[in-house]
């Protein structure tokens, strides 16, 4: 459940920079990992900020996932996700929605695991909803 969205404008000299931070203020059920905010260059999980690509599930956070960006995603990154045995995978592709080539998610399809590609902000919101429903979901987030 999204309770607030904070969008601010900062002025630096004559330039105007837009900073968007989405705060997701949720109760933390049963000690699960929940995304409490996301913004440009970070994702916050249980009030701890992460500044690199990561995988999060209700019970685990993997910060050593995908050293490059979207274009560097390979089958080995998908294998890391598979090792968590999810029911659903949400791939947050950054600020723009992008889609994987079928060869990258073939292993997910073969194991009847759903893959949804969306922006990272959308993946964060969707992840929290699915975790609150008790679903076995993994969010692979490109920051």
Q: How far apart are CA 64 and CA 25, in angstroms?
A: 26
Average predicted confidence (pLDDT) for the chain = 84
DSSP alpha helices (H): ranges in 21-74?
none
- Band (pLDDT 50/70/90 cuts) for residue 5 is very low
- Band (pLDDT 50/70/90 cuts) for residue 64 is confident
Strand positions, DSSP E, 1-143: 4-12, 15-23, 35-39, 42-45, 48-50, 54-57, 61-62, 88-92, 114-118, 137-141
pLDDT of the residue at 86: 97
Q: Is the per-residue pLDDT at 3 higher than 70?
A: no
Q: Is the per-residue pLDDT at 68 higher than 70?
A: yes
User: Yes or no: is domain 4-141 CATH 3.20.20.60?
Assistant: no
The dihedral region occupied by 28, where left means phi > 0, alpha psi between -120 and 50, and beta the remainder, is beta
Give the domain ranges of the chain.
Answer: 4-141
Q: How many CB atoms lie within 10 A of CB 30?
A: 8
């Amino acid at each position: 459940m999204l309770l607030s969205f904070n969008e601010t404008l900062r002025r630096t000299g004559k330039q105007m920079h837009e900073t968007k931070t989405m705060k997701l203020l949720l109760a933390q059920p049963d000690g699960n990992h929940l995304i409490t905010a996301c913004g440009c260059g970070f994702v916050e999980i249980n009030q701890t900020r992460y500044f690199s690509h990561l995988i999060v599930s209700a019970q685990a956070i993997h910060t050593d996932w995908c050293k490059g960006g979207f274009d560097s995603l390979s089958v080995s990154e998908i294998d890391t996700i598979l090792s968590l045995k999810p029911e659903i995978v949400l791939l947050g592709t950054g600020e723009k929605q992008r889609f994987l080539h079928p060869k990258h998610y073939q292993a997910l399809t073969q194991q009847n695991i759903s893959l949804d590609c969306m922006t990272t902000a959308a993946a964060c919101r969707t992840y929290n909803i699915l975790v609150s429903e008790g679903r076995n979901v993994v969010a692979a987030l490109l920051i």
